[in-house]
Amino acid sequence: MSTNEPLAISESQQMNLDTEPEGRWKGAFREMLAGGPGVAIGALILAFLVGSIMIAFTNAAVREAASYFFARPQDFFSALGSAMGGAYSSLIRGSIFNWEAPTFQRMISPLLLTLHNSGPLICAGLGVAVTFKAGLFNIGGRGQMLMAAVFAGWLAFGLPNLPVGIHLIVCILGGILGGALWGALAGFLNAKTGAHEVIATIMLNYVALYLLQYLLATPGLMQNPGSSNPITPATPMSAQLPRLFGRQFPLNAGFLIALLAVAFCWWLLNRSSLGFAFKAVGENKRAAKVAGINTDRMTITVFAISGALLALAGAMQVLGTVTTGFTDGIDGGIGFDGITVALLGGSQPVGVLFAGLLFGAFKAGGSMMQAGQMIPIEIVSVIQSLIVLFIAAPPLVRAIFHLPQPSQVAAAKKAAAKAAKAEAKAAAKKEVSA
């Protein structure tokens, strides 16, 4: 049986309400957060274990030594040791402190690179986290970043005569507007037509990608004049984010903006009435509706704010990271990394800050591993996604490391309490009889 149109739409919305049990995402996060440090450490160990196996498997010396393993096993283990040592020492030297560098400046430059990398990652993670809090999922970070790059880039190349500080601010605000509009479009589709936000944002990613490709390939739009390659002109100096420690270090004001964004999100989610409404919708949409919250408007607002935060990441890329002209790969996969950052950070602004720093360090160290040890940088995304997978399934990690399951802990506590009670009773009885 089919129904007529308006009915069909309201019915599908109704269906969404009915089929999504309240706090569906919340349950997932409670599980993750309930994991505690034991599970987090276990997840890290497991992820690095798998990463190490992959590094060992592809290391030429290790494979050669493995071919005569039974004749001389010590060769195999020394090759394995040097492969692992080389990989992880370059991971640390590339991300935190390079003790092999000749000058002190060069020694601390990896740490500054880590901070530089983490700026866009933190913003993207915050953007995804905000939607998680409202019971929604924004996987359209790529599209929102690309639209932000279009807006910010267009303002950067198109208005070269603006004064230095104003130009930068105009570009950032323009980029935020672009991403917020693209995010709000997804929210609008979800709120007004019942389209699933995951599908809508995935599709909008591709629409944005091809839109940008069209702009890049068409002379007179965003293509660099005089070039036939799909690349924009360089970002003018007046629109670039100022570098914090001189030209030789890439760290720019983007990191400070990311810190401000963390503070803003903390305020938004923990102190503002808007954030309270977001969380109310996320915990129980129907209850929020009954309480008088306009859930449709909240969905659109959440997606606009999320898009704005991802746009910040996109603007940082154009105005800080890639200033020599950008291509359709300007998002650098950060839109998707933002999802893993948000998950790892438990959707809490401060957690996202640390998760972003960790992933920024992975990115910096991964480049060093690739350059020095010929280990492809993709090992980083493997390890990152494994960490998130394992953290998302605490019972699995507990089972692997024989950590006590929470239910067992509770049962044991109960049993202990019972035993103590019984003992006390018995003691009391004894006393009485005595």
Partner 1 sequence: MSTVTVDPSTVLPDEGPIEHRIVEKRSVKTATILAVATALLALLLVASPRQGKTNFQITLGNEFFSIGEGGVVAVPAVPFAWICVAIMAVLTVVAFVLSYRYSKFPGWASAVFGLLAVAAFLSWAGAGAQGRLNVVGLIGNAILVAIPLVFGALGGVIGERAGVVNIAIEAQLLMAAFTGAVVGSLTANAWVGLLAAILAGAGVAAILGVFAINYRVEQVIVGVVLNVLIIGVTTFLFSAWLQTDMQRLNSTLEHRFPDIAIPLLSRIPIIGPALFNRPVIVYIMYVAVAAVWFALYRTRWGLRTRAVGEHPKAADTVGIKVNATRWLAVLIAGAIVGIGGASYTLVSNPSFNREMTAGFGYIALAAVIFGNWDPIRASLAGLLFGFAINLQSVLSVIGSPVPSQFMLMLPYVVTLLAVAGLVGKSRAPAADGVAYTVEGH
Contacts to partner 1 by CB under 8 A: 1-5, 8-9, 12, 15, 18-21, 24-25, 28, 31, 54, 57-58, 60, 137, 139, 189, 193-196, 198-200, 202-204, 206-207, 210-211, 213-214, 217-218, 336, 339-340, 343, 374-376, 378-382, 384-386, 388-389, 392-393, 395-396
- The closest alpha carbon to 135, from 24, 277, 298, belongs to 24
Buried b (16+ CB within 10 A) or exposed e, 406-416: eeeeeeeeeee
Nearer to partner 1, 31 or 75 (CB): 31
φ, ψ of residue 252 to 5 degrees: the values are -125, -175
Nearer to partner 1, 94 or 254 (CB): 94
Nearer to partner 1, 230 or 250 (CB): 230
Amino acid at 87: A
Q: At closest approach, how far in Å is the CB of 290 from partner 1?
A: 23
Cα–Cα distance for residue pair 346/283, rounded to 1 Å: 15
Q: Render 103-157 in DSSP notation, one character per residue.
A: SHHHHHHHHHHHHHHHHHHHHHHHHHHHHHHTT-----HHHHHHHHHHHHHHHHH
Nearer to partner 1, 162 or 194 (CB): 194
Q: At closest approach, how far in Å is the CB of 291 from partner 1?
A: 25
Block residue for tokens 């997978």: 389
Cα–Cα distance for residue pair 242/390, rounded to 1 Å: 39
**Cα 197 vs. chain centroid, distance in angstroms?**
18
Is the Cβ–Cβ distance between 138 and 352 less than 8 Å? Answer: no
Q: At closest approach, how far in Å is the CB of 405 from partner 1?
A: 12
Nearer to partner 1, 101 or 376 (CB): 376
Q: At closest approach, how far in Å is the CB of 15 from partner 1?
A: 7
Q: At closest approach, how far in Å is the CB of 297 from partner 1?
A: 18
The tokens of 18 are what? 């009915």
Nearer to partner 1, 24 or 425 (CB): 24
Q: At closest approach, how far in Å is the CB of 321 from partner 1?
A: 20
